[in-house]
Homo-oligomer: A and B are copies of this chain.
């Protein structure tokens, strides 16, 4: 899925700047299942604008640099629906941490614990963010599709954190010094 479609999707939720779109993929709703950097967003936005799928509007801010707010057009809406209708490429998940833990025996015990706990902590933080009130409040009256995806993230992270907590003694050695 190209950056253009990715941006277009975010814009169906409302006007946004390139910088704000990135935040959606960094901390927001989309962070869980996709990532895009500014280096792809700005060119994508320029192309979308040239194609008439979005309109631009300059906004002056005080204390902050000017920004450009992009809004999706009717043509853009139609194009986005068409893009959603196409077949999607399969999910892809890549985890260097899991690759390392696969070979856990080749790591020193200290390093193994370091990697394991850092990875567990990362997932705990992700889970906490998804469970946060802020996030829940935003989703209270969100359409089913958005609630579904959020819920999917929640159950996945929960299952993962629980699993890692249960396997910790087995992976790092029984001893748990107080």
Contact = CB atoms under 8 A, between A and B. Distances in A.
Interface of A: 1, 6, 9, 12, 29-30, 32-35, 80-81, 84-85, 88-107, 111, 115, 122, 143-146, 148-149, 151-152, 155-156, 158-160, 162-164, 167, 170-171
A144 B170 contact: yes
A123 B148 CA distance: 16
Contacts of A80: 103, 106
Given A85-B107, A104-B144, A94 B35 contact: yes
* Main SS class of interface, A: helix
A1 B106 contact: no
Given A93-B91, A160-B156, A105 B143 contact: yes
20 contacts: A6-B99, A12-B103, A12-B106, A30-B102, A33-B94, A33-B98, A85-B107, A90-B122, A91-B96, A91-B97, A93-B93, A93-B94, A101-B145, A102-B148, A104-B145, A145-B171, A148-B171, A152-B160, A152-B164, A155-B160
Contacts of A81: 106-107
